[in-house]
Every structure is written in C-alpha cells, then in structure tokens.
C-alpha cells in the first residue's frame, strides 16, 4: 500500500514538472510587448498554467537570455483574456516601477486569437479571471440595451442576462465583457434607468480595487428583475439553481 502511494505521489509530481503540455494545451503565436520593441514567440495555455517561449531565431539575434516564463494559475494575480490580447498580472514586484506588480502583455499573431483559451478556462479559474470577450454561447433569459458610461468616452451595446452569466455585447473594441455571477461583487442602482455592476476586476482608482461598470439603461429595469439579479449574485443557492425572471418582451 505504501509503495503504491509513493508511486502515485511521484506521478503527480512528474506531471506538474512536465507542465501544461501534458494536459492538452493550446498554443498561439504571440508578440510580447516590453520596453524595447518586443519579441515574438509561442504562448501556451494549459489546464495548470501558462507559458511563453521566445522564438529561437529571435533569441539568436537579440540576447543571451531569451524570454521564457511559466506561470501556474495560482501564481497569477489577474488573467485577462480578449480575442487578440492576453494580460498576465503577476505577484512579482517590478523594480523599475517602484514596486508595482509586474504585468506581461501578449498580442495574438498570424490571424490567431485567444477565444479557445477563454473557452477552455472560463469554468475552471476563480475570480482572478477577467473575460474581456462576448461569449456568444450565453443564451439570454432577458436583455437590456445600454450605454456603458466611461471617464472619457463610453460605448453602446446590450446587457444579456443568462442562466449563469451576464454578457456586455458591444462593437467597441476592448469593451466587451462576460461575467459569471460569482465574478460580480455587488450591484446598485440610482433609479430604473441605471445599473452598476461592481466586479472583482482590479482597478486601482476604484474603492477596494473593485472595478465598477456603470450602465445607463435605454429601457426601464423592473424592480422584480433587479431583485432577482441581486439574489443571483448575493445568494449562492439562488445562483446555483439557474432560476431567473422571464425573457423581456
């Protein structure tokens, strides 16, 4: 029995050392932005974490120490995925920015996009995951046309309320979002034509580093639907049940 347990433990350790590729990872040609121009390489997303390796040709031309990183998901402070960009905020201090946390930004190349990475991770990661995508698979139970109010210029779109997610659909680049109900800390309203979603997305300029999404509604939000939404966000049993108010006519 002890020998079997030791073999099992050794197998787990070996699997973790081998890395994401063992777990059916997806790879993407990507450009890493940094202070001096940037570099191209391969970004890999697997069940256990992310990795990036600079292209061999670029390594020979540029530097003795190529860019090569591995991050377990538990070591990522925030992972943001959009169709063409992925941001990895780590817990490591950036000595060039007075101790600010170090962030790595990757842009998809050669017609690639990170949509498949979102599909793979959307139900596996915790609240440190930011989905800057419009999840087309979410079926609306009801929806509202809205304007997202921003500091400089806002965007117009539709809030889609599904069984387990809310989607903000808009044509404005970089503004789309998909939130699981567990990704939303709270909601608020100043009247039937306003709605604020307080999310766990990091925002240093917002209270408690939570990011507020303030929406001006083009149609009245009925009190029954607001109350149902509040329960789905704040009552775990309600969120898990998948019940919701009916479809908007």
Tell me the residue range of the domain where 57 lies.
26-131
43 and 123 share one domain: yes
Domains contained in the chain, number: 2
78 and 171 share one domain: no
Residue that is last in its domain, among 110, 131, 152: 131
The torsion defined by the Cα of 93, 94, 98 and 101, in degrees rounded to 10, comes to -60
User: What is d(CA 20, CA 42) in angstroms, rounded to the nearest whole number?
Assistant: 13
Residue that is last in its domain, among 131, 157, 183: 131
Confidence check: pLDDT of 243 > 50: yes
Confidence check: pLDDT of 103 > 50: yes
Q: Is residue 107 part of a domain?
A: yes
CATH at residue 223: 2.30.29.30
Residue at token pair 């591995």 = 70
Q: Is residue 248 part of a domain?
A: no
Q: How confident is the model at residue 43 (pLDDT cuts 50, 70, 90)?
A: very high
Confidence check: pLDDT of 17 > 60: no
Q: Is residue 12 part of a domain?
A: no
Q: How confident is the model at residue 38 (pLDDT cuts 50, 70, 90)?
A: confident
Q: Is residue 41 part of a domain?
A: yes
Q: Is residue 20 part of a domain?
A: no
Q: Is residue 5 part of a domain?
A: no
Q: How confident is the model at residue 13 (pLDDT cuts 50, 70, 90)?
A: very low
CA distances (Å), 33 to each of 36, 41, 107, 163, in order? Answer: 8, 11, 8, 37
* Percentage above 70 pLDDT, the chain: 76
Looking at residue 58, what is its pLDDT?
Answer: 58
Q: Is residue 2 part of a domain?
A: no
109 and 162 share one domain: no
Confidence check: pLDDT of 157 > 80: yes
Sign (positive or negative) of CA dihedral 181, 101, 209, 133: negative
122 and 203 share one domain: no
116: which DSSP letter?
H
């Amino acid at each position: 029995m002890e020998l079997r347990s030791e073999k099992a433990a050794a197998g787990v350790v070996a699997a973790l050392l081998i890395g994401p590729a063992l777990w059916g990872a997806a790879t993407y040609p990507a450009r890493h932005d940094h202070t001096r121009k940037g570099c191209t390489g391969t970004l890999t997303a697997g069940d256990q974490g992310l990795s990036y390796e600079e292209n061999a040709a670029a390594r020979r031309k540029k530097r003795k120490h190529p860019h090569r990183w591995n991050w377990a998901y538990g070591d990522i402070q925030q992972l943001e995925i959009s169709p063409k960009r992925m941001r990895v905020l780590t817990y490591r201090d950036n000595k060039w920015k007075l101790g600010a946390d170090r962030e790595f930004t990757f842009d998809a190349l050669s017609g690639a996009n990170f949509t498949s990475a979102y599909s793979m991770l959307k139900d596996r990661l915790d609240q440190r995951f930011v989905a800057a995508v419009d999840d087309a698979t979410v079926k609306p139970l009801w929806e509202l046309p809205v304007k997202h109010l921003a500091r400089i210029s806002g965007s117009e779109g539709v809030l889609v309320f599904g069984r387990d997610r809310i989607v903000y659909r808009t044509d404005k680049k970089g503004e789309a979002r998909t939130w699981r109900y567990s990704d939303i800390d709270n909601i608020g309203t100043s009247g039937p034509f306003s709605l604020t979603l307080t999310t766990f997305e990091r925002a240093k300029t917002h209270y408690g580093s939570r990011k507020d999404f303030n929406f001006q509604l083009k149609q009245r939000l009925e009190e029954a639907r607001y109350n149902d939404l509040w329960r789905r966000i704040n009552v775990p049993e309600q969120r898990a049940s998948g019940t919701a108010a009916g479809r908007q006519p």
